[in-house]
Amino acid sequence: MNRGTIFLCATALAVCTHARADDVVCGRLESATNGQDGPIALREGESVNFWRGGTVRHGALHVYKDGEVYRVYWQPEGSGDVYVLANEGIDSVRLILTPTRGTKVDTGPGSLPPQKVLSCPAL
pTM of the model: 0.79
Q: What is the pLDDT of residue 34?
A: 86
Instruction: Give the chain's residues under pLDDT 50.
Output: 1-19, 21
For 25, residues 6+ apart whose C-beta sits below 8 A from its C-beta are: 92, 116, 117, 118
Q: What is the pLDDT of residue 123?
A: 74
Give whole-number Cα distances, 2 to 15, 25, 45, 67, in Å. 20, 39, 57, 46
Q: What is the pLDDT of residue 22?
A: 58
**Is the sign of the CA dihedral 26, 91, 44, 55 positive or negative?**
negative
Cα 85–120–100 angle (5° rounding)? Answer: 35
Q: What is the pLDDT of residue 35?
A: 80
Q: What is the pLDDT of residue 23?
A: 78
